[in-house]
Amino acid sequence: MLNQADIDGIADKVARDNLPSGALVSVSSRPYESFSGDEELMVRVVIRDAQFPQVTGDQFGKMVGDLQQELMGRGEMRFAHIEWNTDAAPTPDEDE
């Protein structure tokens, strides 16, 4: 299992590689327990509100696939759920 700093670094790089230049505000991750009790990851990706309309579904999809592939390639087997947000939206509660 990778540590949070490694996961955050990987997620940040993958997001920057797949999203339009300047669109990414931040990436963070935390452990997450699924409804079935499995240990997984929650990765929060925050995008600039003004650039959100420029991000395509293909870019989102590729980012998700690339992230899971990169994590698994480094031995991280926990599934990564992606939570998208913009910098204009309120930050969701960590317990959700």
Distance from chain centroid for Cα 72: 14
DSSP for 20-68, please give it.
PTT-EEEEEEEEEE-TTS-EEEEEEEEE-GGGGGG--HHHHHHHHHHHH
The DSSP bridge partners found for residue 45 are 27, 84
Separation between Cα atoms, residue 69 and residue 77, nearest integer Å:
10
- Can you list the domains of the chain with their CATH numbers? 4-86 (3.30.300.30)
The predicted structure's pLDDT at residue 90: 74
Give 95's DSSP letter.
T
Helix (H) or strand (E) holding 85: strand 80-86
Query: Per-residue pLDDT tens for 33-73?
Result: 999 999 999 999 999 999 999 999 999 999 999 999 999 99
